[in-house]
């Protein structure tokens, strides 16, 4: 019988095999991952599935009893087109609906509003009236289908339309089942599809809590979202901490409005991103359940259901690549497995083409079948929490609990998440992490297969879905006009005035905004009219981007290519007598600003004079800002498919002002098929997903007349 080997013996053997290489790994979260874990690393008993603190799952049987709900987040063009897409997917095995709305709808504008000409129907379905909502769910029984709606800013009219659509389908609102996102704090941090300032936005949330707790017992009144934080660049610790802190804040607001915590907390749900750090994502979901149980116990919840964190998950959009896109099938499969092993209650899997466009039927089928194959073919669902008891997973779970709790404690010490968001430090923390991540990718320290390693010499074009924005907008305007012509105008205006008065009055059951919006929806008020009625009292909110400094540059100390571009910027500065000036412009109603902020931060670190334009600009407003700021280049950041409308209009308006000398470049989610269209319109540089930011800066210097050598020729500097 041989003696049991010691850890020291293992360490010596491992070091010999790797010739002394350090096998420890420091994650972006600041957690050091060891190459070997033992029983000594497990310091907390995770308990059993279905029992507090629910580390191992919210149900005792988990997927052995019933698998997670297969959802697909989808919506595009008109309600008719989206309805047909939903019905095809449901027939093919999808179990729940998850609705994506276009940006005009998110921002509370009807499709006929002049600010949304490039946004209607492009990144989701356009919903202007109750008639749109009824068409969206035509043939889909709302008393039998769970419906999730990703909506925050215009949540009041959208939820009102959903309630009335159910009524007119013959479904009592007490039978409506599903979830609304209704998470406005996250919007102020990262996604930016807000309408009103923070304080009235929080009133809206508590009004929805009150209405749904009384009238819609099966409906989840909020989905507290970390997803968009990770997509904006947050580490998993940041996503975890800020999401739980948001949930604590919402629970407090509900209690402050007079609700008993156990009357609404059981209908709160969560929404997390699942990226490519496989074990970290599994541990994150387990840690989230521990933290929520702890937080709700502290707030005084008595019911175990109130303390039970239930979550929807979605695979990462940021991990998808334009280059070598079929790799995205594998990425999504790995992420789906992580969500499943972490214990999600429902899941959306992204399609392989979503780095550049809305999914086609072909790509959506692959994404949906990824989940069905895991459920039906792998046997993974037959064991409850199969990774429970893993030394690594249990240790990582506890490390995430501890690291996230530190951030939550800071939030609490400063008065809660609403005050932290107002102070701006959570957003700054996330933007710092995003800039650091981009630098690691550009330096190939974080490998992305097909982008910064193993890249194809030639890329085949991928067939993508293209929406005729003008045609959709024309159809929507026709329906708006028809609804307005056929409604009882006096009754509609009276309902809108009652809503306006309620918004101006103190919060109470009698002034509940959702209750008044339901009456306005019944009277055929449009989404824009309902939003505007509240805006009369609440006003419309706007912020100015403030990019971080020095974070992108830090890893490049001593890098020869970085120095070459710095020298190029300085050469242009000497020639112009000032620094080259770049306006980073966000036109249209897309609030996702991760890419724009990274470009602003990186170009600023490289020595450019950078002007970060406000969100939600029109092309005309962008031209005014460009001329007033005296810029050399306008960089238009696009994510929501408005590039074929908004960027050509920007160029034409610059021409009208006689300023063809100002270069226009474009970056973001732009399908390669559209590159020639944009070049013909006058765009002089196009930088899609996966573009190296340092090389983008080098190319801009060439546009400004500097003779920059290509990458790899640093010795020529």
Residue 303 has which token pair?
């019911």
Distance CA 351, CA 662 (A): 37
What stretches of 402-502 adopt beta strand conformation (E)? Answer: none
Q: Which of 586, 643, 644, 663 is catalytic?
A: 586
Is 391 among the catalytic positions? no
Give the H/E segment covering residue 52: none
Residue among 228, 284, 348, 643 flagged as catalytic: 228
Q: Are 209 and 514 in contact (CB under 8 A)?
A: no
Backbone torsions φ then ψ of 713, nearest 5 degrees: -115, 40
Catalytic residue among 592, 643, 644, 663: 592
Query: Rounded distance, CA 206 to CA 182, Å?
Result: 10
The answer to whether the beta carbons of residues 391 and 41 sit under 8 Å apart is yes
Catalytic residue among 246, 353, 590, 674: 590
Residue 118, token pair as written in the block = 């490039």
Contact 381, 70 (CB under 8 A): no
Spatial separation of the C-alpha atoms in residues 112 and 114, rounded to whole Å: 6
Nearest-Å Rg of the Cα atoms of the chain is 26
Q: Which residues pair with 225 in a beta bridge?
A: 271
- For 450: left if phi > 0, alpha if psi spans -120 to 50, otherwise beta; the answer is left
Phi, psi of 270 (to 5 degrees): -125, 165
Q: 552: buried, middle or exposed (CB in 10 Å: 19+, 13-18, 0-12)?
A: buried
Q: Count CB-CB contacts under 10 A for residue 571.
A: 17
Closest to 478 in 3D by CA, of 35, 73, 110, 109: 110
| 671 alpha carbon, distance to own chain's centre | 20
Residue 22 tokens read as: 């350090």
Number of residues in the chain? 717
Which of 86, 194, 227, 556 is catalytic? The answer is 227
Residue 233, number of CB atoms within 10 A of its CB: 24
Cβ-based burial of 688 (10 A; exposed 0-12, middle 13-18, buried ≥19): buried
How far from 633 is each of 267, 559, 683, CA to CA, in Å? Answer: 49, 26, 11
DSSP state of 691: -
If you ran DSSP here, which 8-state letter would residue 711 be given? T
State the catalytic residue, choosing from 73, 211, 392, 687. 73
Q: Is 454 a catalytic residue?
A: no
> Is 442 annotated in the active site?
no
Residue 357's nearest CA partner among 274, 266, 466, 213 is 466
Q: Is 706 a catalytic residue?
A: no
CA 370 – CA 283 distance, rounded (Å): 22
Q: How far apart are CA 203 and CA 341, in angstroms?
A: 37
Distances (CA, A) of 379 to 61, 67, 246: 15, 11, 36
Tokens at residue 216, please? 């819609």
Pairing type for strands 32-33 and 25-26 reads antiparallel
d(CA 404, CA 681): 48
The question of whether 73 is a catalytic residue gets the answer yes
Q: Helices in 187-277 by DSSP H: which ranges?
A: 198-215, 227-231, 236-256, 261-264
Q: Are 335 and 275 in contact (CB under 8 A)?
A: yes
| Catalytic residue positions, numbered | 73, 227-228, 586, 590, 592
């Amino acid at each position: 019988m041989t003696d049991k080997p010691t850890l020291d013996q293992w360490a010596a053997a491992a070091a010999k095999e790797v010739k002394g290489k350090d096998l420890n790994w420091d994650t972006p979260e600041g957690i050091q991952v060891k190459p070997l874990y033992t029983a000594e690393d497990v310091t907390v008993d995770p308990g059993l599935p279905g029992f507090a603190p629910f580390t191992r799952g919210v149900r005792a049987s988990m997927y052995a009893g019933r698998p997670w709900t297969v959802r697909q987040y989808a919506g595009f063009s008109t309600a008719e087109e989206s309805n047909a897409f939903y019905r095809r997917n449901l027939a093919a095995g999808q179990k729940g609906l998850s609705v994506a709305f276009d940006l005009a709808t998110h921002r509370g504008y009807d499709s006929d509003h002049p600010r949304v000409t490039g946004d209607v129907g492009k990144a989701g379905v356009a919903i202007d009236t109750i008639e749109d909502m009824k068409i969206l769910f035509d043939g889909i029984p709302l008393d039998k289908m769970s419906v999730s709606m990703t909506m925050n800013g215009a949540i009041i009219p959208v939820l009102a339309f959903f309630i009335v659509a159910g009524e007119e389908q013959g479904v009592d609102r007490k039978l409506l089942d599903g979830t609304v996102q209704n998470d406005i704090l996250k919007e102020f941090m990262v996604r930016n599809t807000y309408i009103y300032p923070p304080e009235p936005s929080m009133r809206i949330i508590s009004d929805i809590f009150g209405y749904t707790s009384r009238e819609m017992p099966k409906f989840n009144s909020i989905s507290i979202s970390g997803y968009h934080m990770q997509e904006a660049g947050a580490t998993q610790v940041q996503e975890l901490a800020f999401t739980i802190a948001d949930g604590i804040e919402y629970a407090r607001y509900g209690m402050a409005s007079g609700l008993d915590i156990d009357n609404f907390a059981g209908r709160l749900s969560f929404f997390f991103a699942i990226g490519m750090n496989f074990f970290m994502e599994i541990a994150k979901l387990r840690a989230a359940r521990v933290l929520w149980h702890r937080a709700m116990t502290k707030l005084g919840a008595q019911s175990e259901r109130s303390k039970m964190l239930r979550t929807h998950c979605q695979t990462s959009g940021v991990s998808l690549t334009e280059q070598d896109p079929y790799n995205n099938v594998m990425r999504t499969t790995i992420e789906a497995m992580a969500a499943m092993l972490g214990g999600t209650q429902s899941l959306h899997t992204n399609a392989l083409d979503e780095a550049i466009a809305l999914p086609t039927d072909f790509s959506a089928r692959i994404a949906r079948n990824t989940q069905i194959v895991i459920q039906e073919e792998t046997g993974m669902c037959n064991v409850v929490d199969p990774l429970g008891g893993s030394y690594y997973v249990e240790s990582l779970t506890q490390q995430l609990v501890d690291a996230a709790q530190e951030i939550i404690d800071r939030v609490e010490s400063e008065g809660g998440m609403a005050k932290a968001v107002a102070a701006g430090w959570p957003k700054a923390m996330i933007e710092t992490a995003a800039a650091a991540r981009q630098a690691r990718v550009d330096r190939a320290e974080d490998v992305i297969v097909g982008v910064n390693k193993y890249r194809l010499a030639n890329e085949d074009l991928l067939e993508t879905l293209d929406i005729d924005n003008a045609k959709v907008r024309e159809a929507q305007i026709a329906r708006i006009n028809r609804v307005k012509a056929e409604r009882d105008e006096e009754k509609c205006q009276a309902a809108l005035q009652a809503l306006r008065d309620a918004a101006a009055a103190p919060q109470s059951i009698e002034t509940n905004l959702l209750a008044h919006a339901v009456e306005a929806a019944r009277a055929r008020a449009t989404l824009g009219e309902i939003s505007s009625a509240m805006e009369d009292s609440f006003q419309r909110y706007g912020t100015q981007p403030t990019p971080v400094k020095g974070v992108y540059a830090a890893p490049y100390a001593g890098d020869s290519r970085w120095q070459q571009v710095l020298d190029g910027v300085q050469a242009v500065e000497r020639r112009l007598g000032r620094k080259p000036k770049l306006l980073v412009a966000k036109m249209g109603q897309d609030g996702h600003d991760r890419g724009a902020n990274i470009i602003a931060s990186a170009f600023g670190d490289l020595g450019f004079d950078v002007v970060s334009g406000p969100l939600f600009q029109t092309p005309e407003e962008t031209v005014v800002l460009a001329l007033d700021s005296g810029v050399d280049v306008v960089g238009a950041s696009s994510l929501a498919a408005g590039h074929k409308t908004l960027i050509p209009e920007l160029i034409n308006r610059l021409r009208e002002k006689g300023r063809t000398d100002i270069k226009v470049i474009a970056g973001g989610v732009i399908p390669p098929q559209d590159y020639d269209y944009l070049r013909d319109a006058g765009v002089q540089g196009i930088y899609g997903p996966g573009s190296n930011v340092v090389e983008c800066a080098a190319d801009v210097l060439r546009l400004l007349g500097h003779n920059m050598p290509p990458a790899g020729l640093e010795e020529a500097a």
